Chain A
Amino acid sequence: MQSNAALEYDYTVAKLFTYTTILFGILGMTVGVLIAAQLAFPELNYLIGEYGTFSRLRPIHTDTVIFGFMLSGIWASYYYLSQRVLKVSMAESKFLMFIGKLHFWLYFVGALVAVISLLLGISSSKEYAEFEWPIDIVIVLVWVLWGVSMFGLIGIRREKSLYISMWYFVATFLGVAMLYLFNNMAIPTYFASGGIGSIMNSVSMYSGTNDALVQWWYGHNAVAFVFTVPIIAMIYYFLPKESGQAIYSYKLSLLSFWGLMFVYLWAGSHHLIYSTVPDWMQTMGSIFSIILILPSWGSAINMLLTMKGEWNQLTENPIIKLLVLASTFYMLSTIEGPIQSIKSVNAIAHFTDWIPGHVHDGVLGWVGFMTFAGLLHMAPRMFKREIYSKKLIELQFWLQTTGIVLYFTSMWIAGITQGMMWRAVDEYGNLMYSFIDTVAALHPYWVIRTLAGVLFLSGVFIFAYNMIKTITSSKELAQEPKNQSPMAA
């Protein structure tokens, strides 16, 4: 393989993760629409007995979307682009192929077991880390396998210099490993008590305020290292590839990368403003959240400026449209978060719907669009067929964009409404509303939010159909497309 001929890359593992991205996307978001509807129409809590209540399903929604849909999309992209930027094929090492496949299958089985455990009502009640200790061990193994896979490939690379995307993948690996391990430190009570009770139960190593600190150091930064860092890795590869444009500025990417790494971890305590956590930590959380605008916008602006002089592509190529709007939603979300971290704003926003509103403009607009764009870019190259339909991508794009806008606007209004009602007092200084008044007031917004979810989910189904058609029956390609992905009208 020392000739100048192009390398033949092996996409076996990338394809497997592509399938689970679609599968978990549909599963997680369908549950999401259901629980959104449950708030507006509580009768929907009783569809499948005890297994269908909001409280059982909500962690299934969040975890399936984060660790199912997003992580699959991240790993599909990783197994596709790491070979290309390192200039080495996975097929060159039998060992790495084996590790890659093992990584996928252990992940897939682990994910199914995790969903079932939540459905059965086994939960540690730590948000986005609800899994009990046996599943945590599987998750750690999966993560180690990815590490072996990645550093193994880096070890046999031909291109000595790591491309920007690889910086972000390495950071994802290290960041999540550190956060997940520390946050899930727990002692299984069965063993500690000498064999009494359930084997699944465990008790957290940290208590009360300390547990809250560790949890939100994790919770916030799981967002950083799953919703942000690897997604930036993806856009740094897919945007220049799809558009044929070079990254606008290397210096800006350096500043953004190291800035993001240093600043992000401090901001976790903004989830604990006005709690029993010491005041200085809350203030640090606020301040660093504001500083965080710099590296976040640094990356986003770098992406938008990469398109300088080529904005016509926005009208011609729906994948570029997804990528550019993803960057734009990233900017929206990373200015909104810091605003919510300001103490006086947080006093109103905390505990309200504004928070899920903020999360969703980030995850639907930024992570979702980036994942769809990445998969659409990879499909013609992995399956050697053109994309089945450009019209369907356009339709998906508009349905989902409308859905996202409806989602966050309704949640902004709902959140601020409820926050203001909780603190409203009459002329004598007494509270004006009972708690249930503030719940009843949200009904119309919850209906709109459900509708928004239905729109976005329809887009996911259209995407799934488009992908399946592309994989199975679209026109075959004689050679690999260079930049713009070929697609039938």
Chain B
Amino acid sequence: MFHWLEKNPFFFAVGVFVVIAFAGLIEILPNFAEASRPVVNLKPYTVLEMAGKNIYKNENCITCHSQLIRPFKSETDRYGQVSLSGEYVYDRPFLWGSRRIGPDLHRVGNYRSTDWHENHMLDPKSVVPQSIMPAYPYMFTKTTDIDTAYAEALTVKKVFATPYDAPNGTKLGTLDEGRAAALEEAKAIAADMKNKDVKDAVARGEIPQIVALIAYLNRLK
């Protein structure tokens, strides 16, 4: 049979494909219906949080930070309650990471504040003297792309029926409403910050990246 296959490339290729596709069919597909149920009271990201998540994604924060607390006492002592599948339902993509060069962030919102993040992102060593994390000063001046975040929220609402504008959920509304809501949220965060450039920008109606990122980090609980 093998000699025959080696002389018939078409059937050889079909054979290889069947053999390699088998595992995916059995191992991956069955989980799709199962794992996509959200935990109770999980709300979709607000536009500002979504913008922060996109910064986290585009800057590849996952190269150093995980968002997955494993079921060991040493991990729950350090980071908080063990991670549940239903908590990740609105994460597209998932942001678990694969290497903890820095600590896990899945519940960082429980134990770090806006103020702490502000100092840390501008100069990590000022908060953690031995830190090897790079500073991100440009996030204090670059403006957040709110429109793209709104577009993403609208996309997941339309395509994946993510419950925006549902009772007790996250309001999305029109693009203008989305922009206004993001600015309101940004103002609340900027009020807890001390950087003058950031405060001025928010007062002008522009949202620096750092504000969106902090909104996202504060949500991680």
A and B associate: yes
Which of A54, A187, A265 interacts with B63 by CB under 8 Å? A54
Give the distance to chain B from A164, nearest Cβ to Cβ, in Å. 9
Q: What are the residues of chain A within 8 A of B131 when measuring CB–CB? A: 42, 436, 439
Q: What are the residues of chain A within 8 A of B133 when measuring CB–CB? A: 42
The answer to whether A130 and B60 touch across the interface, beta carbons within 8 angstroms, is yes
**Chain A CB within 8 A of B13 CB:** yes
A175 to B24, CA, bound (A): 12
Give the distance to chain A from B134, nearest Cβ to Cβ, in Å. 4
**Chain B CB within 8 A of A124 CB:** yes
The answer to whether A210 and B70 touch across the interface, beta carbons within 8 angstroms, is no
For the complex, count residues of B whose C-beta is within 8 A of A. 84
Q: What are the residues of chain B within 8 A of A264 when measuring CB–CB? A: 20
Which of B2, B94, B148 interacts with A211 by CB under 8 Å? B94
Give the distance to chain B from A327, nearest Cβ to Cβ, in Å. 23
The answer to whether B35 and A162 touch across the interface, beta carbons within 8 angstroms, is no
Question: Which of chain B's residues 67-108 have a Cβ closer than 8 Å to chain A?
Answer: 68, 70-72, 74-75, 77-78, 83-85, 87-103
In the complex, per-residue mask of A201-235: 1 if CB is within 8 Å of any chain B CB, else 0: 10111111111111101000000000000000000
A440 to B125, CA, bound (A): 13
Question: Given A151-B9, A207-B36, do A170 and B16 touch, yes or no (CB 8 Å)?
Answer: yes
Number of interchain pairs (Cβ within 8 Å): 255
Q: What are the residues of chain B within 8 A of A56 when measuring CB–CB? A: 59-60
Question: Which of chain B's residues 4-43 have a Cβ closer than 8 Å to chain A?
Answer: 6-7, 9, 12-13, 16-17, 19-24, 27-28, 31-32, 34-36
**Chain A CB within 8 A of B130 CB:** yes
**Chain B CB within 8 A of A240 CB:** no
The answer to whether B71 and A209 touch across the interface, beta carbons within 8 angstroms, is no
Question: Given A174-B13, A275-B68, do A122 and B32 touch, yes or no (CB 8 Å)?
Answer: no
Q: What are the residues of chain A within 8 A of B158 when measuring CB–CB? A: 192-193
Give the distance to chain A from B67, nearest Cβ to Cβ, in Å. 10
Which of B28, B60, B70, B148 interacts with A213 by CB under 8 Å? B28
**Chain B CB within 8 A of A39 CB:** yes
- Which stretch from A134-142, A348-356, A372-380 is at the chain B interface? A348-356
The answer to whether B7 and A439 touch across the interface, beta carbons within 8 angstroms, is no
The interface residues of chain A, by DSSP majority, are classed as helix
The answer to whether B24 and A217 touch across the interface, beta carbons within 8 angstroms, is yes
- Which stretch from B149-157, B163-171, B194-202, B213-221 is at the chain A interface? B149-157
Which of B60, B63, B70, B78 interacts with A274 by CB under 8 Å? B70
Q: List 29 A-B contacts (CB under 8 A).
A: A42-B134, A53-B134, A58-B60, A58-B63, A160-B7, A161-B3, A161-B7, A170-B9, A174-B16, A182-B24, A193-B151, A196-B175, A197-B147, A197-B149, A198-B148, A198-B151, A207-B90, A207-B92, A208-B88, A210-B31, A217-B27, A254-B2, A275-B68, A277-B35, A288-B23, A347-B72, A356-B99, A425-B74, A439-B102
Give me the interface of B with A, judged by CB distance under 8 Å. 2-3, 6-7, 9, 12-13, 16-17, 19-24, 27-28, 31-32, 34-36, 54, 56-64, 66, 68, 70-72, 74-75, 77-78, 83-85, 87-103, 128, 130-136, 138, 145, 147-152, 154-156, 158-160, 175
Give me the interface of A with B, judged by CB distance under 8 Å. 38-39, 42, 45-46, 49-50, 53-56, 58-59, 121-127, 130, 151, 154, 160-162, 167, 170-171, 174-175, 178, 182, 187, 189-190, 192-193, 196-198, 201, 203-215, 217, 254, 258, 261-262, 264-266, 268-269, 271, 274-278, 281, 284, 288, 347, 350-353, 355-356, 422-423, 425, 430-431, 435-436, 439-440
**Beyond the given A162-B9, A422-B75, could you list 10 further A-B residue pairs with CB under 8 A, ordered by the A residue number?**
A42-B133, A56-B59, A127-B62, A178-B17, A192-B151, A192-B154, A208-B35, A277-B31, A277-B35, A356-B99
